[in-house]
């Protein structure tokens, strides 16, 4: 997920174009860059004035709504849980029962306050599976308790028409289903493993859109699928605390600023509704990766090395990636250093010097999953 703070944006954008001037003469290049830098500073300041305050207000309202709902849940549950990047979590009306769709583990869990028999748990689970298979993203957002606590005007920015079901496939909960039961002094829980074709359905649902934007921007569809998998596990309700939204976890500011400028010729603040729309989100995520690869790290000559840097930057921002090659955020210096490395050397360098373990894990997962998705697509 793009995570670079907004305060980095101007510095990073300016650095990224240091090597894009077409002038051959060094003095002319410096002059062209100075003009470009001044323009970017002015645009950044305008964006900050117009959009940053609005997003900060929205983020504050969002977190307050989450906090308020968690307080309600805490009256019933010792560990309240909310929908996140890879899980859709739903409570019943009195919050005595919760259902967790874990897209990463491909499971559904129903946990109930009180002691229930195995037969009762299986019945509850089957009821929830039936319900989720007919619940669309649109309906889930409309009934989301966090969203319902937001001001009405803000709620309207999250309305989206999306008939994607929360569950693509479901098992019948009978004696042959892969279920596990657990019980504590206060709760009863049952978990069922969803059939493998449910994962395949989620992939196939987004694949046509992935292929369109991958082809448009000269990207690998397998790489885009790997990013979606790592960002959200194809959770159609994916969100994070930043907040970021959707399959490719786009933050309305930072990444959204660059994406909107590329797509619409002006810097806009993407609404949650825009980002929850799967087509919009995949387009935006594909554009952001394209910009990282073809703009920020344009000077890296080796395609495979440039890909590694761009993958890491999708998670932590290009400035943090550049800093692994020196003491500052200079993309020019980082690109020069990367041009002396093979793919294997660049991978080991990043895995050694990236500051966050999360980004190291992210890079490892993406590269492995890209290979897997390439093989899977060849088998389709």
The full set of domains in the chain, from first to last, is 6-63+200-379 (1.10.530.10), 87-194 (no CATH)
Sign of CA dihedral 91, 93, 64, 58: positive
Q: pLDDT tens, 15-47?
A: 333 333 333 444 554 455 456 556 656 665 665
Q: Which residues pair with 108 in a beta bridge?
A: 101, 192
- Judge residue 202's burial from the number of C-beta atoms within 10 Å of its C-beta, 0-12 exposed, 13-18 middle, 19 or more buried: buried
DSSP code of residue 194: P
The pLDDT of residue 5? 32
Terminal alpha carbon distance of the chain? 28
pLDDT at position 25, please? 43
Confidence (pLDDT) at 156: 87
- Residues of the chain short of pLDDT 50, as ranges, are 1-26, 29-30, 33
List % helix, strand, coil for the chain (3-state, nearest 5): 60, 10, 30
pLDDT of residue 337: 96
Contact between 312 and 303 (Cβ < 8 Å): no
- 3 touches 315 (CB < 8 A): yes
pLDDT at 257: 85
Q: What are the tokens at 186? A: 């206060």
Looking at residue 329, its pLDDT comes to 87
Give residue 124's Cα distance to chain centre: 31
Residue 112: half-sphere exposure toward Cβ, Cα within 13 Å = 17
Kindly report the pTM of this predicted structure: 0.85
Strand 107-113 relative to strand 187-193: parallel, antiparallel, unpaired?
A: antiparallel
**In which order are the strands placed within the sheet that holds 187-193?**
87-91, 97-102, 107-113, 187-193, 179-183
pLDDT of residue 183: 82
pLDDT at 72: 96
What is the residue-wise DSSP string for 142-157? Answer: HT-HHHHTS-HHHHGG
Whether the Cβ atoms of residue 300 and residue 338 lie closer than 8 Å to each other: yes
Nearest to 160 by CA among 281, 274, 284: 274
- The reported pLDDT for the residue numbered 43 is 60
Q: How far apart are alpha carbons 75 and 37 in whole angstroms?
A: 54
Q: Which of 290, 102, 129, 278 minimizes the C-alpha distance to 204?
A: 278
Which residue shows structure tokens 């979606």?
228
Instruction: Identify each DSSP E strand in 120-195 by its residue range.
Output: 179-183, 187-193
Query: What is the pLDDT at residue 246?
Result: 95
């Amino acid at each position: 997920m793009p995570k670079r703070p907004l305060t980095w944006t101007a510095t990073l954008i300016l650095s990224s174009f240091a090597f894009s001037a077409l002038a051959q003469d060094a003095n002319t290049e410096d002059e062209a860059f100075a003009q470009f830098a001044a323009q970017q500073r002015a645009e950044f300041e305008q964006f900050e004035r117009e959009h940053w305050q609005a997003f900060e207000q929205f983020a504050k309202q969002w977190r307050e709504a989450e906090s308020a709902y968690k307080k309600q849940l805490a009256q019933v549950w010792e560990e309240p849980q909310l929908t996140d990047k890879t899980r859709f979590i739903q409570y019943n009306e009195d919050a005595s029962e919760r259902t967790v769709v874990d897209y990463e583990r491909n499971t559904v869990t129903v946990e109930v306050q009180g002691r229930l028999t195995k037969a009762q748990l299986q019945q509850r689970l089957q009821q929830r599976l039936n319900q989720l298979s007919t619940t669309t993203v649109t309906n889930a957002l409309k009934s989301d308790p966090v969203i319902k606590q937001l001001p009405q005007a803000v709620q309207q920015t999250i309305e989206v028409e999306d008939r994607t079901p929360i569950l693509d496939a479901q098992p019948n909960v009978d004696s042959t289903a892969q279920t596990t039961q657990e019980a504590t002094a206060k709760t009863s829980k049952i978990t069922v493993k969803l059939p493998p074709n449910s994962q395949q359905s989620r992939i196939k649902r987004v694949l046509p859109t992935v292929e369109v934007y991958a082809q448009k921007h000269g990207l690998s569809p397998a790489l885009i699928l790997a990013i979606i998998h790592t960002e959200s596990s194809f959770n159609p309700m994916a969100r994070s605390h930043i907040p970021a939204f959707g399959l490719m976890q786009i933050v309305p500011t930072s990444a959204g600023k660059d994406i909107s400028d590329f797509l619409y010729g002006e810097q806009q603040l993407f609404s949650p509704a825009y980002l929850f729309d799967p087509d919009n989100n995949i387009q935006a995520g594909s554009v952001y990766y394209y910009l990282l690869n073809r703009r920020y790290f344009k000077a890296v000559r080796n395609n495979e090395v440039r890909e590694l840097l761009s993958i890491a930057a999708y998670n932590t921002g290009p400035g943090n990636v550049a800093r692994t090659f020196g003491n500052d955020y200079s993309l020019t210096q980082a690109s020069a250093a990367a041009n002396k490395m093979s793919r294997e050397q660049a991978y080991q360098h990043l895995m050694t010097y990236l500051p966050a373990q999360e980004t190291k894990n992210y890079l490892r997962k993406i590269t492995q999953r890209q290979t897997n998705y390439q093989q899977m697509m060849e088998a389709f």
